[in-house]
């Protein structure tokens, strides 16, 4: 693991998620920017001190020099965004698979370069969009791909938070500070931090793609150079329209991610803060409440659920699903067996590119007088 030292939020989530299903073990890390703090963190985690490295370069070099059955299997990147690319590149260079936080890089250009290096390496790359690994999100995807909604016409995706309502980045909140610093976060603030999750969720569940967009990104709080709020109109490649809302200045909102997809036959609604419920609405039948662990779930959704209905599963469990799926891919490498099957998806380089294309286009579009801007599609 690179990053995830004291004070970080997502590193601890990664570690809990990795442990949950008893398939993975954290063996080494470069957790912080100093050797001392990295070692202290490693000690807390019960790691061998000799594998708590002062920096990622050392970690990659030293681990690569260990015998194959001792060295780490893959690198987890949980640093600020600007380090994602160099660490991922370094890992691939040293022969390690990569599991990286989003966004993949700080520019689309970097991401294209990452794609090339990945292709050259033949290794595995995963991107942690954990919301796609909630069982009811998988259920929604299954039902849409099975045609239960008919033709998709409208997509409304929202991710609103309130934690940047005030200028906490100037009063010691390290999480806020780097996310609002363009050198560390890249060109997108809110749109790159959570907007890209919403974008990924919408494309993942619907199976259609955003073709062009119109954006209004804002710097609400004085003194910010990156956006903390945004609204984006979407045109999809099947003719559907949509709206993406992302904001971190919506005071009182916690982690309010929701997705609604309207077809010509039915619609679905899902809300992250009540993740075990999926609503299915029709024009001529009563609304159905599909529940995690409940009746008539797809095989795929069952695979993402651990407990009987009514025993809530949450964010760590969704994250753990990604880890389980990634572990299956790594175990199956290079011969492809035991990869977890068709339903064991982990977002990869394709999603990485889509996300970076979205962020860059939204930032560009917001600054433009022109309404619509095409989102590059590189597949």
User: By rule CB under 8 A, what count of residues binds a second copy?
Assistant: 85
Out of 38, 200, 206, 267, the only residue in the binding site for a second copy (CB under 8 A) is: 267
Residue 264 near a second copy by CB under 8 A:
yes
CB of 309: closest distance to a second copy in angstroms?
Answer: 4
Residue from 66, 119, 307, 378 touching a second copy (CB under 8 A): that is 307
Q: What are phi and psi of 295, to 5 degrees?
A: -70, 150
- Site for a second copy contains 205 (CB under 8 A): no
Q: Rounded to an integer, what distance in angstroms lies between the CA atom of residue 258 and that of residue 277?
A: 12
Q: Choose, by CB under 8 A, the member of 288, 343, 364, 376 that binds a second copy.
A: 288
Site for a second copy in 229-248 (CB under 8 A): 229, 231, 233, 235, 241-243, 245, 247
227 binds a second copy (CB under 8 A): no
Smallest gap from Cβ 338 to a second copy, in A, equals 15
* Nearer residue to a second copy within complex by CB, 22 or 335: 22
Verify binding: residue 293, a second copy, rule CB under 8 A. Answer: yes
What's the closest the beta carbon of residue 114 comes to a second copy, in angstroms? 28
Distance between CA atoms of residues 266 and 142, nearest Å: 14
Strands 229-236 and 210-218 turn out to be: antiparallel
Determine which residue in the list 46, 67, 172, 336 makes contact with a second copy, applying CB under 8 A: 46
Site for a second copy in 311-370 (CB under 8 A): 311-317, 368-370
> CA torsion, points 176, 181, 185, 187, in degrees to nearest 10?
130
| Both tokens assigned to 367 | 């600054």
263 binds a second copy (CB under 8 A): yes
**Residue 304: closest CA among 12, 296, 314:** 314
198 close to 225: Cβ distance less than 8 angstroms: no
Could you tell me the CA-to-CA distances from 355 to 103, 128, 193 in Å, in that order?
Answer: 7, 12, 11
Which listed residue (306, 333, 340, 343) binds a second copy by CB under 8 A?
306
Q: Which among 7-15, 55-63, 180-188, 352-360 is the span making contact with a second copy, rule CB under 8 A?
A: 7-15
283 scored as a contact of a second copy (CB under 8 A): yes
Interface pick for a second copy out of 11, 294, 348, 355 (rule CB under 8 A): 294
Residue-wise DSSP of 49-118: GGGB-SSHHHHHHHHHTS-TTTS-SEEEEES-GGGHHHHHHHHHHTT-EEEEESSSSSSHHHHHHHHHHH
Identify the CA nearest to 99 among candidates 133, 64, 124.
124
Cα 42 versus chain centre, distance = 25
CA dihedral sign, ordered 152, 111, 271, 249:
negative
Residue 255 interacting with a second copy (CB under 8 A):
yes
Quick check: 12 binds a second copy (CB under 8 A)?
yes
Residue number with CB closer to a second copy (98 or 156): 156
Contact status: 139 vs a second copy (CB under 8 A): no
Site for a second copy in 15-34 (CB under 8 A): 15-16, 19-22
Q: Is 371 in the site for a second copy (CB under 8 A)?
A: yes
Q: How many CB atoms lie within 10 A of CB 150?
A: 13
- Of the pair 38, 135, the CB lying nearest a second copy is at 135
352: its two tokens: 């990485």
- 262 binding a second copy? (CB under 8 A): yes
Within 13 Å of residue 363, how many CA atoms lie on the same side as its CB? 22
Q: Which stretch binds a second copy (CB under 8 A): 64-72, 107-115, 156-164, 191-199?
A: 156-164
Q: How far is the CB of 122 from a second copy (least distance, A)?
A: 29
Select the span of 69-77, 90-98, 104-112, 263-271 touching a second copy (CB under 8 A). Answer: 263-271
Q: Which of 195, 10, 184 lies closest to 106 in space, CA to CA?
A: 184
Least distance between a second copy and beta carbon 106 (Å): 24
* Phi, psi for 18 (deg, rounded to 5): -65, -35
């Amino acid at each position: 693991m690179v990053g995830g030292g004291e004070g970080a939020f997502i590193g601890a989530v990664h570690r809990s998620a990795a442990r949950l299903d008893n398939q993975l073990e954290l063996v080494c890390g470069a957790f912080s920017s100093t050797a001392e703090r990295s070692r202290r963190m490693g000690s807390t985690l019960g790691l061998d001190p000799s594998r708590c490295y002062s920096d990622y370069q050392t970690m990659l070099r030293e681990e690569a020099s260990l015998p194959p059955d001792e060295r780490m299997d893959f690198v987890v990147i949980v640093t600020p965004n600007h380090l994602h690319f160099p660490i991922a590149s370094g890992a691939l260079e040293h022969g390690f698979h990569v599991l990286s936080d989003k966004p993949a890089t700080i520019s689309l250009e970097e991401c294209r370069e990452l794609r090339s290096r990945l292709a050259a390496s033949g290794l595995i790359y995963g991107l942690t969009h954990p919301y796609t690994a909630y069982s009811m999100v998988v259920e929604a995807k299954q039902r849409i791909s099975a045609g239960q909604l008919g033709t998709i016409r409208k997509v409304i995706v929202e991710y609103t938070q309130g934690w940047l309502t005030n200028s906490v980045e100037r009063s010691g909140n390290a999480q806020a500070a780097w996310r609002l610093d363009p050198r560390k976060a890249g060109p997108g603030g809110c749109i790159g931090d959570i907007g890209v999750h919403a974008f990924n969720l919408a494309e993942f569940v619907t199976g259609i793609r955003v073709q062009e967009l119109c954006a209004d990104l804002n710097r609400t709080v004085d003194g910010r150079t990156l956006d903390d709020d945004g609204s984006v109109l979407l045109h999809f490649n099947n003719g559907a329209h949509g709206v993406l809302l992302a904001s971190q200045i919506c005071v009182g909102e916690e982690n309010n991610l929701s997705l609604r997809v309207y077809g010509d036959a039915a619609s679905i609604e899902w809300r992250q803060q009540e993740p075990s419920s999926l609503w299915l609405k029709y024009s001529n039948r009563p609304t159905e409440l599909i529940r995690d662990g409940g009746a008539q779930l797809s095989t795929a959704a069952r695979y993402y659920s651990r407990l009987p209905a009514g025993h809530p599963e949450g964010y760590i469990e969704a994250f753990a699903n990604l880890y389980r799926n990634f572990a299956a891919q790594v175990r199956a490498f290079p011969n492809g067996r035991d990869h977890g099957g068709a339903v064991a998806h982990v977002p990869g380089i394709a999603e990485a590119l889509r996300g970076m294309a979205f962020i860059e286009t939204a930032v560009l579009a917001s600054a433009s007088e022109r309404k619509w801007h095409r989102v590059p599609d590189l597949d």
